[in-house]
Amino acid sequence: MAGMTARERMIVAMTNGQPDRVPVAPDMSNMIPCRLTGKPFWEVYYFADPPLWQAYLDAVKYFGIDGWFVDGSMQYQWPGERASVVEDIRKTADRWVVRRRGRIDGIRYNEEVTYYCADSPTPTRPPIDDIETMWPLLEKWFAPPVGYNPSVLYQQREMVGELGAFGVSISYPGFHTWINLFRGGLMDLSTWYYFAHDWIEQLRQRHEQQALKQMEMILDEKPDFVLLGGSGTLTLQSPKIARELSLPTIQKLTRLAREAGVPTMLHSCGKERELVRWCAEETDLNCINPLEVPPMGDCDLAEVKRAHGDRIALMGNLHTTDVMLRGTPQDVERAAIAAIDAAGAGGGFILSTGDQCGRDTPDENIFRLVEVAERYGQYH
């Protein structure tokens, strides 16, 4: 299959087919695109100048990678009345703390986010402090959408064109998603799981209702793929909890997408080997990433390919720190060749990184990654 576009190449590989060559799609969805703008990061994240998705497309063109665009904007319309007021709390040379006072159908909440000059924003005061007393707010927070406005989605899709696969993201229930909503973080979620389990189950059901309705709307627009965002699914919760809170929704979402003929991809950084097995054996998922290596993850690419490569496409997994950030172009070349040797045979593999590339990843390392895929990743 000679002469494929980046979009065609990505779609074939993520559906476990063999394209003209191994696609090369490092994860650089945030920090590197922001750095390349030359602006303080809050200009991108807060003021959307440019929007992050535009910065990502500029980075795709700059490096010549096979794009995987995950920011398709559905602009959901929510039931009831929603409003918020943003207050500037304090700003220094390197950070800016912003408070949002929000209201959903008369129920008020406050949250704070810290934006940085040269880093991604961080929720520093989440809106929820107790699952039981604030359930009326949570119930509305996870209400299913009642409609959507695809105008931005259409603009994005046109701009992505053949630069890569065009996707829309969706979340699924679990500690990994909820942790940024609760002020007590993982400790509170764990406590409620064991001592207020009925509330956690209600939250799971409500989140699932929202996700299924979102997926229904997404599938109406037929994107190239849908990304299930679940970073830390097996790092921020045990396999037992993940099977209870997360896996049922993953199964339902991927089944809906399979029936509609739209591929799905799942991203979950950290430990993932067991999740790969579940997804290959118990879901309709098409592709999984980033398959991090130890110590951050637990995946051996060759082992995962042998065990599950006939049922699910793989995307990964060069070490983002030791290889991409601190390594030389020669180190990147050696690691990239090893990854292609481990998982490239027969297709169903996308050469990528074991999570998002750090802000200061040398440009020459990304360029070398692309060169190796173009030269060594050819299928004959």
pLDDT of residue 298: 96
Nearest-10 Cα torsion for 133, 136, 139, 145: -150
- Say whether domain 6-79+128-376 belongs to CATH 3.20.20.210: yes
Residue-level pLDDT, tens digit, the chain, 380 residues: 558 999 999 999 999 999 999 999 999 989 999 999 999 999 999 999 999 999 999 999 999 999 999 999 999 999 999 999 998 888 899 999 999 999 999 999 999 999 999 999 999 999 999 999 999 999 999 999 999 999 999 999 999 999 999 999 999 999 999 999 999 999 999 999 999 999 999 999 999 999 999 999 999 999 999 999 988 999 999 999 999 999 999 999 999 999 999 999 999 999 999 999 999 999 999 999 999 999 989 999 999 999 999 999 999 999 999 999 999 999 999 999 999 999 999 999 999 999 999 999 999 999 999 999 999 999 97
Distance CA 116, CA 155 (A): 28
DSSP H/E element including 113? strand 107-116
Task: Tell me the two tokens of residue 151.
Answer: 């105008």
Q: What is the pLDDT of residue 88?
A: 80
Annotate 43-102 with DSSP letters as a single string. Answer: HHHTT-SS-HHHHHHHHHHHHT--EEE-B----EE-SS-EEEEEEEEEE-SSEEEEEEEE
Residue 59 is predicted with a pLDDT of 98
d(CA 191, CA 203): 14
Q: Measuring CA to CA, which residue among 286, 313, 57, 37 is closest to residue 162?
A: 57
CB 289 within 8 A of CB 312: no
Q: How many CA atoms lie within 13 A of 10 on its CB side?
A: 25
Contact 171, 230 (CB under 8 A): yes
pLDDT value of position 2: 57
| Domain spans, the chain | 6-79+128-376
Task: Tell me what pLDDT residue 239 has.
Answer: 95
Q: What CA–CA distance (Å, rounded) separates 26 from 272? A: 18
Q: pTM of this prediction?
A: 0.96
